[in-house]
């Protein structure tokens, strides 16, 4: 029986049982088993991906041992620890995609326009955040339905996708991306990415139907962006690891116990030794105010004694929370100060740099992997648009550009840049040099364009000046003819600029 799947926040999620198909009109019979296998992979992975999404979105539930926390408190607490989201965002923020470098050559295939049309500077960070959440994300490449000459590069999250890895060729052999669902979470549309073709499947009143698009590309036009991929885990692993989720649960319980302790001691707890219970009404506080001076002696003639319970210390809870945060820092390479834990001694700049260096090294390694995937996606788009089976040779030399992962002061960069440029002036006229100085790719392109324009204008002025000198019968200036030595290069004992052979 179909059920409506709704989370505690009222947000619907996908129904695993909504896709069970044996045939799809428009799909070759040989491709049906592949689609069924992809749907099986998605169904097996979806619950785990959903759990990690809930931890990142702070929608995870409170896991209580049922010992020390009152039911009224634990039934009203909401998740308040954002360590999983911090683990994702802290690393994703170090991957800022700026575009492609063409090594000083021309962009003959319109790669820059392709990136701009698909807003890859915005799309790529979204895909990277999703990859860190679920271990991987995908970029799909296809032609626009309305304009086949326009290529569309879209990000796809792993919780709405499935893929099978081809270990022989070290790439995806087939993939499935869910495109739509209804109000009950039932899947109503998905795409299947296969070598040489793309199936666009939709649910109708009479079953599933597919439209086949021929790509004539020898591999599925989809690439993965994976975090920490290994030989036994080609699709990587999640930043929201099992240890991190367990530590988040422990931290949640610690704070709730702290809250319960604070609630218990917020109202003064008084003990009247030797007083009769009848001296107090159900409204205890009013009784303390009105009847406290009217309590009579007990049957033995002794006066009642008043004692107040002292509030318990919050220090054990704080110490435990600090210990958990240190373990989270070790698991995620995030500086403990970024987790809200303040140490007794202020952290020096050098210590903070060392703590962040672990994260920047990891980001540098990931940017290499992400850059390869983005380059593959752009190459696929160019090949599909131009009807090519393989990437052109000049397209293989393009290189993705990322913002620096390490924070270096402008003064330090300028000092280093000026010292290198003083030894090698050519360094200041290269793309590498200006990137070393801390400029982003757009500024570098603008600077180098201006430099080349000025150089071309200077060269043209020299040529025009030499031509004018020839027409007027004047001897060309030595700066335009001399090529070596103080007065020019020597030829047969004569200076080129002084030889009558070369005079007009």
Q: What residues contact residue 182 under an 8 Å CB cut-off, 6+ apart?
A: 188
- Specify the pLDDT at position 76: 82
b/e per residue 105-132 (b: at least 16 CB within 10 A) = eeeebebeebbeebebeebbbebbbbbb
**What is the arithmetic mean of pLDDT over 330-359?**
77
Asked if pLDDT for residue 483 goes beyond 50, the answer is: no
Highest mean pLDDT among 99-108, 137-146, 453-462 belongs to: 137-146
pTM of the predicted model as reported, rounded to 2 decimal places: 0.76
Asked if pLDDT for residue 129 goes beyond 80, the answer is: yes
- Specify the pLDDT at position 479: 45
- Specify the pLDDT at position 294: 54
Asked if pLDDT for residue 35 goes beyond 90, the answer is: yes
DSSP codes, 385-401? HHT-SS--GGGTT-EEE
Q: DSSP code of 81?
A: -
**What is the arithmetic mean of pLDDT over 454-477?**
63
Instruction: Pick the closest to residue 287 from 299, 275, 298 (CA basis).
Output: 275
**What is the arithmetic mean of pLDDT over 4-29?**
71
Asked if pLDDT for residue 405 goes beyond 90, the answer is: no
**What is the arithmetic mean of pLDDT over 305-323?**
76
- Specify the pLDDT at position 494: 39
User: Percentage of the chain surpassing pLDDT 70?
Assistant: 68
């Amino acid at each position: 029986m179909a059920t409506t799947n709704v989370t505690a926040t009222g947000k619907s999620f996908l129904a695993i049982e909504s896709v069970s198909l044996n045939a799809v009109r428009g799909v070759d019979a040989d491709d049906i088993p592949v689609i069924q296998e992809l749907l099986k992979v998605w169904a097996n992975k979806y619950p785990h991906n959903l759990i990690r999404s809930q931890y990142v979105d702070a929608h995870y539930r409170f896991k209580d041992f049922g010992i020390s926390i009152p039911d009224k408190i634990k039934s009203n607490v909401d998740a308040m620890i954002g360590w999983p989201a911090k683990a994702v965002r802290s690393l994703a923020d170090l991957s800022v995609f700026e575009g492609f470098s063409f090594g000083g050559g021309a962009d003959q295939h319109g790669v820059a326009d392709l990136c701009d049309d698909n807003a890859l500077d915005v799309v790529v960070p979204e895909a990277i955040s999703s990859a860190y959440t679920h271990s991987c994300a995908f970029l799909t490449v296809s032609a626009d339905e309305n304009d086949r000459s326009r290529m569309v590069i879209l990000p796809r999250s792993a919780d709405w996708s499935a893929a099978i890895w081809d270990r022989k060729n070290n790439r995806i052999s087939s993939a499935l991306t869910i495109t739509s669902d209804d109000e009950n979470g039932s899947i109503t549309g998905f795409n299947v990415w296969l070598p040489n073709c793309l199936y666009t499947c939709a649910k109708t009143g009479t079953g599933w139907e597919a439209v086949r698009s021929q790509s004539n590309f020898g591999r599925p036009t989809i690439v993965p962006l994976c975090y920490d991929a290994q030989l036994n885990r080609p699709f990587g692993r999640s930043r929201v690891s099992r240890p991190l989720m367990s530590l988040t649960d422990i931290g949640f319980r610690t704070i709730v116990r702290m809250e319960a302790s604070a609630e218990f001691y917020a109202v003064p707890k008084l003990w009247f030794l030797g007083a009769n219970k009848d001296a107090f009404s159900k409204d205890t506080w009013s009784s303390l105010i009105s009847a406290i001076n009217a309590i009579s002696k007990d049957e033995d003639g002794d006066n009642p004694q008043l004692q107040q319970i002292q509030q318990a210390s919050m220090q054990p809870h704080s110490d435990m929370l600090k210990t958990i945060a240190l373990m989270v820092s070790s698991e995620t390479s995030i500086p403990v100060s970024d987790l809200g834990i303040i140490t007794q001694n202020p952290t020096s700049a050098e210590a903070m740099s060392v703590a962040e260096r672990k994260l920047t090294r990891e980001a540098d390694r990931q940017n290499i992997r992400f850059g390869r995937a983005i380059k593959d996606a752009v190459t696929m788009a160019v090949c599909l648009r131009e009807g090519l089976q393989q990437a052109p040779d000049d397209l293989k030399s393009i290189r993705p550009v990322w913002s620096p992962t390490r924070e270096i002061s402008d003064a330090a960069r300028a000092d280093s840049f000026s010292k290198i440029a003083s030894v090698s002036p050519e360094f200041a006229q290269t793309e590498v040099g200006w990137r070393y100085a801390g400029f982003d790719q757009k500024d570098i392109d603008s600077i180098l364009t201006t430099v080349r324009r000025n150089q071309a204008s200077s060269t043209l002025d020299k040529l025009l000046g030499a031509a004018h000198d020839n027409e007027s019968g004047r001897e060309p200036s030595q700066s335009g003819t001399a090529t070596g030595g103080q007065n020019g290069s020597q030829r047969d004992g004569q200076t080129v600029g002084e030889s009558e052979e070369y005079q007009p």
